[in-house]
Every structure is written in structure tokens, then in C-alpha cells.
Structure 1
């Protein structure tokens, strides 16, 4: 088990999400950075859908109730256990009673703590992910609180420390400024409702991520982009990554806790292979959209899959070598 000793902000239990409930109006939830969640589970030999703790704000502190392996992935952080520094993208081992302290976040927006076997909360509608809006999944459908006790599944504990290549380095986009995240998007259903000048403004602008952004949606600030004439649509299906334009002309990117339908015009959609980049973009920094096509979006998906395949192969090789010694 794990005991939460200190928490700042809406930390929650997340897995890869629930994807078969859209017809009932239930959104996906799940990790804002699914690549980091998968990587942590790969490090530990878990099922890649095992539930992690998603930590968006520091400081954060917990106590391990038994010996177990754990891994930190996602954002870069300053963390220590038993007076020993623990880097991100790293597997380590905790002993009963050890306290893990996560002090600060140097880059990125969310850290994932994976433990051997995964966080063992009940499966609700096919997922352990916390759904804040519906107040179900995770631990009682809410953010974690001081004093919470999280059960952990039994697992053959992986021993020995091991690091892997961070996604933000391996899958980095070229020509991105230090305070800017470039994400690839495909044009969406109402793109042609915007004139040429407005479309060009959308592509050329750097969009600031406002403090009103969260797991439901990222609200951006920049020059107003509005359709040539008001677009009034009945609510229809939307998915995470869709970029809607409300009447004020300031884009909203739907994220993992987004509703399943909406009526604002859609100008573009972040490709699935880049949605984790948005999840790791910090408040106050800027997003820049890069238009891409269907074929290139599939190629990006293949690149991400190849990265994960390489992690699996490398971890498996290290474990085989250790077993043979």
C-alpha cells in the first residue's frame, strides 16, 4: 500500500482511460501523458494499462507500506527517497516505511508515479481512471488527499535501478523555442468557415496557455480567430484533441476529461501522437500549431510506437542479462 502524506493540487489515479463508453456520454479520462504512463509501466514490467498516480503540482509526499519497485516518468522533477536523489524516467526500489518526497518540477507539467503491479483501485466502466466530472473511478472519484491509503497489486518486484530515454528528448519536435511547444494538427470540420487571413493567423500565432486550463480543456490566449459568419451547430461528438473556437475567438483544446459533445466550430484537431505534448505544456507557455496531413499523422503514430517498442526491448534485454548472471 501507499499512504499520501502531502499533496498539492488535483493529483489523481489514472490509467490509459476508458474508450468504450462514448455512446453513453462518458468521456475517456486517463493520463494526460499516456506515453509517460506506458513508459513507467514498461520499466516495472507492468501491464501498460496499470494505474499510476498523475501528479500535476509539487510538493508531493508519500510513504511506502511495503517493499516495492517504483518509477517516475513524465515531467522532470527533484525527488528523493531515504536521502537519495531519484531522477525522472528511472526505476528504483523502496523499502517498507520509506518516504518519497517530490520537491519541485524543473520542466514539464505532470509527473507519473508507477509502482510494481499498479495502483489497485476498482475498475469502473472498464478503467481505473478518475473521472472528476462524474465523481467515479480512481479513489472515490476525487483528487487524492492527505491520509489516503492506496492499495497496490501484488507483483514480482523488479529489482535494480534502471533508466530509459525520455520521450521529450527522443520524440522532440525541431525548431521549438524554449517556452514553446509545437504540436501537429489536422484541419477539422469547420476549417473552411474561416477565411484565408484567419487561417493564416491561426497557424502563425503562438498561443499562450492560460491559468483556466485543466484536464477538461486548455484555454488559449492570442489574436481572435473567428469564422466569416457565426456558426451555430447542434451539439455533436467531440474527442480529446479537438480545437474549438468559442464566440470570443480564443481556442479551446479538449483534453482527457472533456465532455463527449459540443457545438462550437472546430478548426483543427491535435493528432493523437502529439496530445501528450499538450499535456506536458506548462501554464503560461505557448503552443504553436503545425498543419499536417493524415499520412504524416500515421507516420507520427508509428514513430511513437517505435519508441515504446525500443523501450520494451531494452528493458527486456537488461532483465535477461541480470537473470543470466
Structure 2
């Protein structure tokens, strides 16, 4: 089996390759902060026999206002949003983001410092500030309006959702499945068996105090969640570029409340595209969950399509976490 012209004869070769792949992924993540875009959002819930229960289709556009990324509604189920409703939504959204920004220093103060032994896949120190400037654009000057300077330091929602699979490198957790063709490209199919994908949060318990029993329960739950998780990656080997992710959770038989609801499957897929030459950005996300209830099987689907990427004419500094 060949990997970009080099014989793949040992796990260390695959580990070295995956280090480069994840470093490239993080470079894409930083580039995403330089753009605004449009979104199409789909929510679809179906009952037994695929009977429609509820569904929504929404369209949004993103722009920068008062130094913050703002999400603006365009259509709801094919109907254009009234100007007054759109402005109210934008104002409320901006207020939430500004409040979130004000809470950030308090959240940082209450959070425990990250372990110095943690390995960052992009080589950045925890909390390092990453500057993402407009390519070829002029530096801000005294004559530029404040709207052209991004005040937001936490990533906007479209970045958080687009890189929900921003997992760290784990040595020895990858397996080469083989070669495949995806959208006309020769790609490598690689499976990732995580041990640390689910790490949980201790924010609430760090304030209230966690007991040994709490910590043991959390550790066991995280171990079981990681045990049933599988991430499949399709990688263009020459560019070390992930073109598709698929996250799959096998049956959740260990979860409590099986008599009430059983999670049969959970799958999340992200595809990447090239809106500009040599620039890879997310094309879309697709989440699917199958549940078994007393009435039968219920299927939930949530999908986002990203399109019409545009350069944001700002200089920004956003914290990478």
C-alpha cells in the first residue's frame, strides 16, 4: 500500500502522515475565520414508516456588524423574512454575542488551566492568539470605521459547528482501510478509533465541588462514549487534505433509560470543498439520529449547507481552543 509515493509499512508512518493531515485541517480552520458566507439549514423529524412529524428549512447570511459576526435570516420555509423581523433577529443575535464576549473573562478565570502535557495537533500553545488577516488587504488605519475591526475574540457559531470534529492527534489510533475515489479524486480511507474524543467538562462541578463518585462516573461515561465512537476520514494524500469526515457511534446500550428511549445510531458527516483555488472550506454538515420509542422508530436529521463564501474585509484575532 502506497501513501503519497511512500511505502506505508508501519503504524509510525501512518501516525506521521496523520500529524500532517491534522495540521492542514487546523490551517483550514484558521482560514475559515477570514470569510463570511450563506447557510441553508434543514431540520427533519420522521416517525414510524418515515411519516413526517416536523420540518423546517431556513436560510441565513453572515456579515460583520459592530465588530461581531452576525447571523441574519433570509427565508423561512421558502418565505422571505420581513425586514422588521430580520432587523429584530439581528439585534437580538448581536446582543447575545456581546453578552457572551463580556462573560469570557469570568469563564476563563473559573476554568481550570489546561494540562501542560496536552498535545496540540497544530502545535499551538493552549489559548494562543491566531491572527487571520485579509490576504493582500491594507492594514487598518485611523480612517477605517470600527465595523472593519473585529472585536469578537470567541469564534462565531458557524466556525464552532463546522469544526465540531476538531479532535487532537492520538498516536497509534489510526488504521488505513484503503484507496477510494471520491468526487473524482483518489483518496485514502482512514479510520480513527478515539480514546480522548469525548473529554467532558468540569465547569459546573469545579464550582460546586466534585465527589470521587462523580469523577468515577464521568470517567466511566467518557470511556464508554469513546469506546463506541468511530471517525472515518477520506484524505487526499498529496495535499494531506481531509475531503470528508464521518463520525459514527455504535449502539448506546450502556446509556440509562433504555426502557424509555434507545439511541440506535448517531452519525455526523462533514464534506469539504474548494470555493477558491487551494482553499478548502466546509461544504456542509449532516447529522442523523435514529431513536426507538414506544411508538416505534423516530429519525432526526439536521443539515447545514455552506455556500457563497466571501472575504471578510477585516483583521481579526480569535482564540484557538
TM bucket by the smaller chain? under 0.3
> Which structure: greater strand fraction?
2
TM-score normalized with structure 1 length: 0.24
Between the two structures, name the one with larger relative contact order (CA 8 Å, sep ≥ 6): 2
